[in-house]
């Protein structure tokens, strides 16, 4: 049980501009290891995944940049920011004029992080901690998914779910810097950016990162395999 996640975030991060989308400010950590250890201590659990909410990951930065530069993608639309982390993509969608933005993430700190970051940017975001992959895609017009292809089981599950969304007419945007399990087919590239990051998070200080749209309604299981290693 987390006593006050918002206070924890304020105490262990600082409000700073996003490198590839400086119009947006987020409560971010400067180093990975200290915030990771503190998160484990706060939750009383070890071997947790990285605190994704505490960093501006390359895929999310690319998606945010795309939405800010192409406001027609989100303007006037209902938008879902899947695996939202800090809420960066949702904030960009709101700034681009989305009629409603829902951020979804199962990390116990994310609701507080999204709330703080939305307040810092003067936008309104809704949040759910429900695992949306366990049910049909919601009634939205745009789904954004950044940095979700770290491991094969998750990649397969996400792509099957996004395929169902696309088959119902929902536009799907994906931001990814060449993760191992990004699908090799069914995607149409919209843009490529050189996104500043850190060697604490990535293998390079600048990652070649792409924004994709899901061009196929469904993907065969064998379509998920290594590609586009930056």
Residue 3 lies in a domain: no
Residue 4 lies in a domain: no
Handedness of CA 61, 66, 68, 74 (dihedral sign): negative
* Mean pLDDT calculated for residue range 69-75: 98
Q: Which residue, 134, 127, 106, 111, is CA-closest to 49?
A: 106
- What pLDDT shows up at residue 203? 64
Residue 37 lies in a domain: no
Q: Which residue, 212, 163, 223, 155, is CA-closest to 188?
A: 212
Q: Average pLDDT over the chain, rounded to whole?
A: 87
Residue 162 lies in a domain: yes
- What pLDDT shows up at residue 198? 72
Q: Is the confidence at residue 153, as pLDDT, over 60?
A: yes
For 88-134, what is each residue's pLDDT tens digit?
999 999 999 999 999 999 998 899 999 999 999 999 999 999 999 99
Band of residue 34 on the pLDDT scale cut at 50, 70, 90: low
Q: Which CATH number fits the domain that encloses residue 135? A: 3.40.50.150
- What pLDDT shows up at residue 226? 37
- What pLDDT shows up at residue 227? 36
Q: Is the confidence at residue 40, as pLDDT, over 60?
A: no
Q: Is the confidence at residue 78, as pLDDT, over 70?
A: yes
Global confidence as pTM: 0.88
Number of independent structural domains in the chain = 1
Band of residue 177 on the pLDDT scale cut at 50, 70, 90: very high
Who wins on pLDDT, 221 or 144?
Answer: 144
- What pLDDT shows up at residue 37? 66
Domain range for 182 is 56-223
Q: Which two tokens stand for residue 27?
A: 């409560």
Residue 89 lies in a domain: yes
Q: Which two tokens stand for residue 28?
A: 């971010």
- What pLDDT shows up at residue 220? 41
- What pLDDT shows up at residue 135? 95
Residue 41 lies in a domain: no
Who wins on pLDDT, 198 or 168?
Answer: 168
Band of residue 87 on the pLDDT scale cut at 50, 70, 90: very high
- What pLDDT shows up at residue 159? 94
- What pLDDT shows up at residue 3? 77
- What pLDDT shows up at residue 169? 95
- What pLDDT shows up at residue 197? 81
Residue 18 lies in a domain: no
Residue 13 lies in a domain: no
CB 121 within 8 A of CB 86: no
Q: How many CB atoms lie within 10 A of CB 165?
A: 22
- Spell 194-215 as b/e; 16+ CB within 10 A means b: ebebeeeebebebbbbbbbebe
């Amino acid at each position: 049980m987390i006593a006050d996640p918002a206070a924890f975030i304020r105490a262990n991060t600082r409000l700073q501009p996003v490198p590839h989308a400086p119009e947006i400010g987020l409560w971010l950590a400067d180093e990975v290891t200290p915030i990771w250890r503190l998160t484990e201590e706060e939750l009383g659990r070890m071997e947790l995944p990285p605190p994704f909410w505490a960093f501006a990951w390359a895929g999310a930065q690319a998606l945010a940049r795309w939405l800010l530069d192409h406001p027609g993608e989100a303007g006037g639309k209902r938008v879902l920011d899947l695996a939202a982390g800090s809420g960066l993509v949702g904030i960009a969608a709101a700034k681009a004029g989305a009629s409603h933005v829902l951020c979804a993430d199962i990390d116990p700190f994310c609701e507080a992080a999204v709330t703080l970051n939305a307040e810092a940017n003067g936008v309104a975001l809704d949040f759910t901690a429900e695992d949306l992959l366990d049910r049909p895609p919601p009634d939205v017009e745009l789904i954004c998914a950044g940095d979700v292809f770290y491991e094969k089981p998750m990649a397969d599950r996400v792509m099957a779910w996004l395929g169902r969304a696309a088959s119902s007419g929902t536009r799907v945007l994906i931001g990814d810097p060449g993760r191992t399990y990004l699908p090799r087919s069914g995607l149409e590239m919209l843009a490529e950016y050189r996104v500043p990051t850190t060697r604490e998070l990535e293998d390079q200080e600048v990652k070649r990162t792409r924004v994709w749209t899901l061009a196929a309604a469904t993907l065969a299981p064998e379509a998920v395999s290594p590609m586009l290693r930056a």
